[in-house]
Amino acid sequence: MRFESTLQRPAEATGTGLHSGVPVTIRLKPAPAGTGILFLRTDLENFPIPASWRHVARVSYATSLMRQGVLISTTEHLLSVLYSMGVDNAYIEIDNLEVPILDGSGRPFVELIERAGVQYYRRKRRYLRVRRAITVEDRGRRISILPDDRFRLTCDVHFDHALVGRQTIEMEVTPERYAAELAPARTFGFERDLAQLRDMGLIRGASLDNAVCFDGIRVLNPGGLRFADECCRHKALDLIGDLALIGRPLLGHVIAERAGHAMHAALVARIMSDPSLYEILTFDQLAGQVARALVS
């Protein structure tokens, strides 16, 4: 896309926080060019929290943002959808501390954006293109990004369960492919872990209506899985939501091997800590560089 975008009209959704269990309403609204994605806590006099890597507070089981002690939790699904559907600027009004989980996937947020519509400004969209390979590793887990003129990802997961095991997905992320192939994939967990998570104060709002749950041998959800590799697809959805905190559309090939929110955040921080690792350019500048490379 050549130009920045926003929503045409407001759209609203109401649900429950996955971890907090609190009722919450969000309202997506148009925002001026150059705004980015800005959360507004309407229960706290519209206190603003930008969707930025600078405000990452917690990355355990979800990605939370904090500014001056004010929290927004479980941001990754909504940010993943906004990013992948090409929405650059929006106000996200929210009346509690956690984005609603809805059905556990990105699909309800895609439908929300489709209801709102997308409009474009005359301001040129500026992309962040990675210039050289970057890798973050920790105890057999790894996430890397390689230079590329598109946004591509390879996501690899491995869980010790007969219905999951090792799964891999590789794709160029476009709005069409994202909406069809990643957005419907739901968050998931294992029955063996539920008691521990609840003891940690998590998943208070979880149910089979908003998460896939595996027992020792089967899927407990009456409708089963939406994809045979739904777990891997959802991890890719999460990954995109965390990368969205860069604040610009990304050009590069991200390869995540058993990575999670903490490693995603570490990669983003590593990229943004060193301006020599990337360049900022418009669509037209990118097209010109690609054309010159083909001629030479």
Q: Of 76, 95, 125, at which residue does a domain stop?
A: 125
Asked if residue 69 and residue 133 are part of one domain, the reply reads no
For position 96, which CATH number holds?
3.30.230.20
What is the pLDDT at residue 295?
Answer: 60
Give residue 115's pLDDT.
96
| Residue among 19, 77, 261, 264 flagged as catalytic | 261
Contacts for 75 with CB less than 8 Å, ≥ 6 apart = 39, 51, 62, 63, 64, 65, 99, 241
Q: Are residues 279 and 137 in the same domain?
A: yes
Residue 296 confidence (pLDDT): 64
Residue 234: enclosing H or E segment and its boundaries? helix 230-243
Residues 150 and 250 in one domain: yes
Give pLDDT tens digits along the chain (296 positions): 899 999 999 999 999 999 999 999 999 999 999 999 999 999 999 999 999 999 999 878 899 999 999 999 999 999 999 999 999 999 999 999 999 999 999 999 999 999 999 999 999 999 999 999 999 999 889 999 999 999 999 999 999 999 999 999 999 999 999 999 999 999 999 999 999 999 999 999 999 999 999 999 999 999 999 999 999 999 999 999 999 999 999 999 999 999 999 999 999 999 999 999 999 999 998 887 777 766 66
d(CA 220, CA 178): 26
Instruction: With both helix axes pointing from N to C terminus, report the angle between 76-84 and 230-243 in degrees, rounded to the nearest 10.
Output: 80
Query: Same domain for 165 and 260?
Result: yes
Name the domain count of the chain: 2
My answer on whether 101 and 241 are in the same domain is no
CATH of the domain at 284: 3.30.1700.10
Q: Residues 258, 117: one domain?
A: no
**Residue 261 bears catalytic tag:** yes
How many CB atoms are located within 10 Å of the residue 215 CB?
A: 12
Chosen domain end from 125, 148, 168:
125
Rounded to two decimals, what is the model's pTM? 0.96
Q: Which domain holds residue 269?
A: 127-295
Examine the domain organization and report whether 168 and 289 are in the same domain.
yes
Q: Please say which residue of 125, 151, 167 terminates a domain.
A: 125
Statement to judge: residues 211 and 291 lie in one domain: yes
Closest CA to 61 of 108, 110, 17, 95: 17
In this structure, are 283 and 156 located in the same domain?
yes
| 103 and 49 together in one domain | yes
CA atoms of 56 and 267, how far apart (whole Å): 13
- Pick the closest to residue 264 from 282, 283, 249, 245 (CA basis): 245
